[in-house]
Amino acid sequence: MTKKGEPEIKEDASAYDYTCITFKPDLKKFKMQSLDKDIVALFTKRAYDMAGCTDRRVQVKLNGKQLQIKDFKDYCSLYLDT
């Protein structure tokens, strides 16, 4: 978290109409071997939160799979009986 690298911009970047963000935690900094189930659950929830609160044209993927949340109503249905 104290070091950052230069962004990786691919030569054929103009062929894509999206931004891909990849998260790679510095496990050594936090003296961890892997992410525990609680932190993975938190990150998973945040991905669903993002899918429910952004424009329906935004595709949110988690671990390579697109989340099937298209709008806020879909998001609410995860928590409420509708």
Query: Could you report the per-residue pLDDT of 72-82, keeping only the tens digit for each?
Result: 999 999 999 76
With a cut of 90, say whether residue 69 has pLDDT above it: yes
Which long-range contacts (C-beta less than 8 Å, at least 24 apart) are formed by 17-21?
Answer: 18/59
Q: 0.85 cut: is pTM over it?
A: no
Judge whether 35 and 45 are in contact, CB under 8 Å: no
With a cut of 80, say whether residue 19 has pLDDT above it: no
Sorted by where each begins, the domain ranges of the chain are: 13-77
The mean pLDDT value of the chain amounts to 85
Burial class (CB in 10 A: 0-12, 13-18, 19+), 69: buried
